[in-house]
């Protein structure tokens, strides 16, 4: 029996381990003798009929995806409209799938992508095209509903905690006659998961980070500065972690308010330099600040072993679900125990995931608003556990793979999707 092909595509911001999922998908499908096509740059490539034939890649290249950051087939930021308003787009999509005998579609992304996957599943039904659609979780933001965590988060959490620990050892050495405050910005525009992970750098008390600024806790400058000064007086120095999503008490992003100059132009820099400058202006303390940006989500050299295991497991499960004919589901990570840390994978309906957002629970934030609770530690700590270093080359660099990404021959007319 001919089973048809499987199409895999990546979506949204990439992570240190999304390729580990891709590799697991391809390996699982190969074991079942199912051919895997990939969308070049996510769903955009599918609409363009710009597909990649992963059969052209060696087993070694596919295995190396496990330790290669970024998105090996390219990702995209692209939302599909409703079926009703964008019927032509869906017809094109199904035409492409039909032309390449695609019977299984795996979309690897966050909550937007879960929504896209759902829309495609519905369109296939409406257009009477037999298709199994499976969402595959991925996001550094950890804000996907239902699943206990998202592949990608554990590694950015580990990067953040280790970086805060290392930079704090540096500041501690310099504080006597130089830098007294270090401010580091982290991702997470809508939820403070990554900011919370920074708390793992220390065990609480006077361990760094001394202050975490969460998007969930309104920023009150006077109280914050008093806390910085008290920390410097007591400890000698102070490490501050600030989420890019931190807001004023009236709900505006700090990066917008403080970030405007006298003419209303948005100023350069992010929240970290703004906070650092306030510390300098009002407390007169010497500072340094860091904004790791993409470094935090691409740092495969420092990936969490737990995170890699999650990424591989959801990829394998997604293939199993699809080949079993399930559609409109996503493999979720279910935690069965904190200590020892135990987890399993279970299918959940995409309807429960699409467009939902998992917030950082209030019980994870310390009462004073500047740190994490023991409950947060119990949740977060297993996620950064273990290393899974990439192999290193003679040139001192990790040996990351670059795929050939051979295009599948086009058979349909050209089509350019509109965003």
Catalytic residues: 141
Residue 73 or residue 370: which is nearer to a second copy going by CB? 73
- Find the helix or strand (DSSP H, E) in which 44 lies: helix 43-47
Residue 220 in the binding site for a second copy (CB under 8 A): no
Residue 398 in the binding site for a second copy (CB under 8 A): yes
Reduced to 3 states (helix: H, G, I; strand: E, B; else coil), residue 103 is strand
CA angle 111/362/250 to nearest 5° reads 85
Q: What is the C-alpha to C-alpha distance for residues 50 and 222, in angstroms, rounded to an integer?
A: 54
Binding mask 370-389 for a second copy (x = CB under 8 A): -----------x--xxxx-x
Q: What is the C-alpha to C-alpha distance for residues 404 and 417, in angstroms, rounded to an integer?
A: 25
CB atoms within 10 A of CB 404: 12
CA angle 183/189/195 to nearest 5° reads 45
Burial label, 288 (beta-carbon count in 10 A; 0-12, 13-18, 19+): middle
Q: Comparing C-alpha atoms, which of 416, 403, 399 is closest to residue 71?
A: 403
In the range 302-361, which residues lie near a second copy by CB under 8 A?
A: 302, 304, 306
Q: What is the C-alpha to C-alpha distance for residues 158 and 313, in angstroms, rounded to an integer?
A: 19
Residue 257 in the binding site for a second copy (CB under 8 A): no
Residue 294 in the binding site for a second copy (CB under 8 A): yes
Number of residues this chain uses to bind a second copy (CB under 8 A):
80
Residue 99 or residue 174: which is nearer to a second copy going by CB? 174
Asked if residue 364 lies in contact with residue 216, where contact means CB atoms within 8 angstroms, the answer is no
Binding mask 259-288 for a second copy (x = CB under 8 A): --xxx---xxxx--xx-xx----------x
Asked if residue 327 lies in contact with residue 133, where contact means CB atoms within 8 angstroms, the answer is yes
**In the complex, least distance from residue 239 CB atom to a second copy, rounded to whole angstroms:** 10
Residue 419 in the binding site for a second copy (CB under 8 A): yes
The token pair that represents 348 in the structure block? 């959940």
Binder of a second copy out of 126, 165, 283, 334 (CB under 8 A): 165
Residue keyed to tokens 């992963």 = 54
Residue 153 in the binding site for a second copy (CB under 8 A): no
Binding mask 65-104 for a second copy (x = CB under 8 A): ---xxxxx-xxxxx--------------------------
**In the complex, least distance from residue 160 CB atom to a second copy, rounded to whole angstroms:** 10
**In the complex, least distance from residue 354 CB atom to a second copy, rounded to whole angstroms:** 20
Residue 235 in the binding site for a second copy (CB under 8 A): no
Binder of a second copy out of 84, 396, 414, 416 (CB under 8 A): 396
Q: Which residues contact 262 (CB under 8 A, 6 or more apart)?
A: none
Residue 33 or residue 263: which is nearer to a second copy going by CB? 263
Q: What angle in degrees, to the nearest 10, is found between the helix axes of 111-126 and 87-99?
A: 80
Residue 289 or residue 364: which is nearer to a second copy going by CB? 289
Residue 249 or residue 393: which is nearer to a second copy going by CB? 393
**In the complex, least distance from residue 68 CB atom to a second copy, rounded to whole angstroms:** 7
């Amino acid at each position: 029996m001919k089973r048809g092909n499987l199409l895999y595509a990546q979506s949204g911001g990439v992570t240190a381990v999304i390729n580990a999922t891709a590799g697991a998908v391809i390996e699982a499908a190969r074991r079942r003798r199912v051919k895997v096509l990939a969308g070049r740059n996510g769903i955009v490539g599918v609409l363009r009929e710009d597909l990649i034939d992963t059969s052209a890649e060696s087993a070694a290249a596919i295995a190396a995806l496990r330790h290669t950051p970024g998105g090996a087939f390219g990702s995209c930021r692209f939302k599909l409209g409703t079926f009703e308003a964008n019927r032509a787009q869906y017809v094109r999509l199904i035409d492409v799938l039909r032309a390449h005998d695609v019977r299984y579609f795996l979309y690897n992304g966050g909550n937007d992508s879960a929504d896209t996957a759902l829309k495609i599943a519905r369109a296939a039904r409406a257009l009477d095209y037999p298709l199994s659609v499976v969402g595959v979780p991925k996001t550094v933001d950890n804000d996907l509903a239902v699943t206990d965590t998202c592949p990608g988060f554990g590694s950015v959490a580990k990067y953040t905690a280790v970086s805060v620990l290392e930079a704090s050892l540096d500041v501690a050495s310099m504080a006597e006659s130089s830098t007294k405050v270090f401010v580091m910005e982290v991702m997470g525009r809508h939820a403070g998961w990554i900011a919370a992970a920074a708390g793992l750098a220390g065990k609480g008390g006077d361990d760094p980070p001394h202050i975490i600024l969460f998007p969930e806790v309104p920023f009150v400058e006077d109280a914050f500065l008093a806390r910085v000064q008290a920390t410097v007086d007591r400890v000698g120095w102070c490490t501050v972690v600030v989420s890019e999503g931190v807001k004023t008490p009236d709900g505006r992003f700090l990066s917008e308010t403080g970030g405007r100059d006298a003419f209303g132009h948005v100023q350069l820099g992010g929240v970290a330099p703004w906070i650092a400058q306030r510390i300098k202006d009002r407390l007169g303390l010497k500072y340094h600040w860091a904004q790791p940006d993409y470094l935090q989500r691409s740092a495969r050299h420092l990936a969490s072993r737990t995170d890699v295991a999650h990424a591989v497991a959801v990829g394998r499960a997604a293939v199993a679900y699809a080949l079993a004919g399930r559609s409109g589901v996503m493999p979720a990570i279910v935690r069965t125990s904190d200590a020892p840390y135990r987890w399993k994978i279970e299918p959940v309906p995409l309807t429960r995931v699409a467009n939902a957002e998992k917030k950082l629970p209030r019980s994870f934030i310390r009462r004073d608003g500047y740190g994490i609770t023991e409950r947060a530690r119990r949740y977060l700590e297993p996620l950064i556990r273990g290393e899974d270093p990439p192999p290193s080359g003679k040139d001192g660099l990790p040996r990351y793979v670059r795929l050939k990404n051979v295009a599948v021959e086009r058979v349909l007319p050209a089509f350019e999707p509109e965003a």
